Structure 1
Amino acid sequence: MPDTPLIMLENVSKAYRKAKSEIYIFDQLNLSIKEGDFVAIMGPSGSGKTTLLNLLGGVDRPTSGTITINGERIDKMSESALSRWRAHTVGFIFQFYNLMPMLTAARNVELPLLLTKLSRKKRRENVMTALKVVGLEDRAKHSPREMSGGQQQRVAIARAIVSDPKLLLCDEPTGDLDRETAGEILSTLQMLNRDFGKTILMVTHDPEAAKYAKSILHLDKGHFVEELVTS
């Protein structure tokens, strides 16, 4: 059905046990995101922003409630099924680029494909396509130490999109960059959303970064308190 959301959280709770008590990050959280949206999530430290991304990426599991992404209930998946689902459906982009320093840009981008059945030639083609999308095909043989912070983050974005996932989850992707370079990275995310139809959820503390999204959700004390439409 065309109107079915890509992401749907229904009555999701997440608690951690501390001593003899349970600390709730979320309690009955609901969220619906349509395919092709670009949403910035803001909120104070400790409000659960990164926990939310981890739940949506299948890295963490809810204490209760349902998480449906692209029509699949990921909260019910086994660990092996979740790993396969994550490899094809989700790309992660972090504040710190998490590149392997001893590998070239191309080899870093290729890493997610090593878990697939693609041939070496097809992996190479996909890697070069991803690097071209982020404007770094000419740096394929360079190591991270030979690149600027912005270039390293673009390599990380290429790695996130190399398996052509529907969903990109970005945790403070410009938090370690100066304003000009951050703008370049955010423009790249906008391009991926606009031209390639990627659905993007971006956690950020920066109001200027959030303006690049189509809408902004504010998370506070485990609940969304308001939504702003930026475009």
Structure 2
Amino acid sequence: MAPPRQCRHPGPAGRDHSGVARLRRAAARCQRAHQHDHAVRYTACALLLALAVPAAAAAEVVVPDGYRMGDYRAPTPPAAPGATTLDTAAAAALWRSGRAHWFDVLPAARRPEGLPAGSLWRPAPRLGIPGSIWLPEVGRGQLSAAQEAWLRDTVMAATGGDRDSPLVFYCLSECWMSWNAARRLAAWGWRAVYWYAEGSDGWEAAGLPTQELHPAPGAP
């Protein structure tokens, strides 16, 4: 199987260094600058060290053999098996083209436990990418038979059964549920699966339009 593809704007060419290696080199440079008491160099190195920390953390993300089974809000890997990763610019371009079907898999808010009976509770509206189909809970690592059927039937209805039709899955940033959903549909034989890892957080941060979403009909 070909390795997962990524759809990103090209960055500067250079050697491929791991985040951990960059972190070690940055720390060594900062130590040398401090020993020579060069304030400007020390400040620059401290900034370099701060930038290296996220890269080191990303390098340490453990990718499960199957689906992520818990702790869904955590740093994610750069790709999902069988899917193409989209950054926000690529996601916006695909959305504007109108060629893809978009699926939001963020879980719906639940009524807080212990809230007295009769108390008014109104969850915050879910603002997602316009035109998305909201399928709460289908990004979990293990789905019930009813959840699997709902996911499969909804995708089939949206695409007319065309397995080459582009599908985009998202939730929030650092959300394994969209990673699970993209991986699952690729495993089910869909050939144009996209994972928008930055999710609605990245979309809103870019100033792109949003729409209030409601769960799709037929939720189990």
TM-score using structure 2 length: 0.28
TM-score using structure 1 length: 0.27
Q: Which has the higher strand share?
A: 1
